[in-house]
Structure 1
Amino acid sequence: MTTMSTDPTTATGPTTATDATTAAPDGGQGVATARPPLTGERADLLANLARRRAFLRFTVQNLDDEQASRRTTVSELTLAGLVKHVAVMEYQWLDFVLVGAAAFDGDMTAREQKFREDFQLSPGETLAGVLDRFDEVARRTERIVAEVADLDDARPLPAAPWFEPGASWSVRQVLLHLIAETAHHCGHADILRESLDGARTMG
């Protein structure tokens, strides 16, 4: 079994608004800002989300583009495709925080086609590029959450079979959804990586 060298459990995510602007999911830091420290529920939610991202990032370490794009089970899922999908999903949900249901505009057929494309690398895309985008989206999320007026601010959800008609989600609910979805895909990624070369994230 291949051993992956870094312990993902040490990545707890940003604990200040400065970190939220500059921290990558693997704990890397950028240029600091003058924003005051972020504490309380926002810091906790962002740290939890960053921890899930770190687990997902961990599953693709030391892989090349071919390995990361390889189907290793009967599923069509690939490791690179999962990272891409999570970044796309997170970006879109933070757009929802900013502009509401317009973030999900498009008929159901178009949404389903886009959803399938989000799980695959397009021609010219690389694992390194997808990871850069993954980190960029994470910094954007942390910046928006640090700046939003209230976690209770809610917007109506778009019409879709999987949403209750007339329901609204707050910023808090969006973050909880992202935490759950990212964790869900970490499980997928762990199976795909173990099927590829025996390496495991969870033990």
Structure 2
Amino acid sequence: MWTQIMVKGDGELPEGMLDMEQYRMPEDETLAGLLEQYTAAAHKTEESVAVLPDLDRSVPLPRTPWSPPETVHWSARRILLHLIRETAQHAGHADIIREALDGASTTAQR
């Protein structure tokens, strides 16, 4: 959805962006299916970046219930950095949960 915001640049909120159910794994979904979706999203992001004239392109962010009153603009570069930061943060959360479940640490042993 962030790639839609970045490429369209129209300030419109993508369909379903505020739907919190998108963050829940449906009971009929598989890990393999989720990984395929993630790979497809990564390819879509690459394609979206390839069509941009440059990463300094400024786009208005969509209005949300928690938005400030004025329109906020971000560069495509900032949107991509936001996606990277969010991915890293959530991967860290997942690693904390995994470590709590299996007791294994990802810290290098010396």
Residue 175 (str. 1) matches residue 80 (str. 2): yes
Note closer, same or farther for the CA distance 1:105–1:140 as it changes in structure 2 (3 Å cut): closer
User: In the alignment, what sits opposite 1:98?
Assistant: 7
User: In the alignment, what sits opposite 1:11?
Assistant: none
User: In the alignment, what sits opposite 2:46?
Assistant: 142
Q: Normalising by structure 1, what TM-score?
A: 0.47
Task: Give the Cα–Cα distance (whole angstroms) in 2 for the partners of residues 163 and 196 of structure 1.
Answer: 40
Deviation at 1:125, TM superposition (A): 1.0
After superposition, the CA RMSD in angstroms is 2.2
Deviation at 1:157, TM superposition (A): 1.0
In the alignment, structure 2 segments of 5+ residues that lack a partner are none
Deviations 1:52-90 (A, max 9, x none): xxxxxxxxxxxxxxxxxxxxxxxxxxxxxxxxxxxxxxx
In the alignment, structure 1 segments of 5+ residues that lack a partner are 1-91
Task: Give the Cα–Cα distance (whole angstroms) in 2 for the partners of residues 202 and 136 of structure 1.
Answer: 30
Task: Give the Cα–Cα distance (whole angstroms) in 2 for the partners of residues 139 and 200 of structure 1.
Answer: 31
Q: What is the number of residues matched between the two proteins?
A: 106
Task: Give the Cα–Cα distance (whole angstroms) in 1 for the partners of residues 72 and 41 of structure 2.
Answer: 26
Contact 1:93–1:174 (Cα < 8 Å) also in 2: yes
Deviation at 1:127, TM superposition (A): 0.9
SS of the residue aligned with 2:104? coil
Deviation at 1:105, TM superposition (A): 5.1
User: In the alignment, what sits opposite 1:166?
Assistant: 71
User: In the alignment, what sits opposite 1:193?
Assistant: 98
Q: Normalising by structure 2, what TM-score?
A: 0.81
Of 9, 27, 30, the residue aligned with 1:123 is 27
Contact 1:155–1:168 (Cα < 8 Å) also in 2: yes
Q: Which moved more, 1:160-169 or 1:189-198?
A: 160-169
Contact 2:13–2:63 (Cα < 8 Å) also in 1: no
Contact 2:12–2:61 (Cα < 8 Å) also in 1: no
SS of the residue aligned with 2:35? helix
Deviation at 1:162, TM superposition (A): 4.7
Deviations 1:151-189 (A, max 9, x none): 111111112315572111111010111111111112101
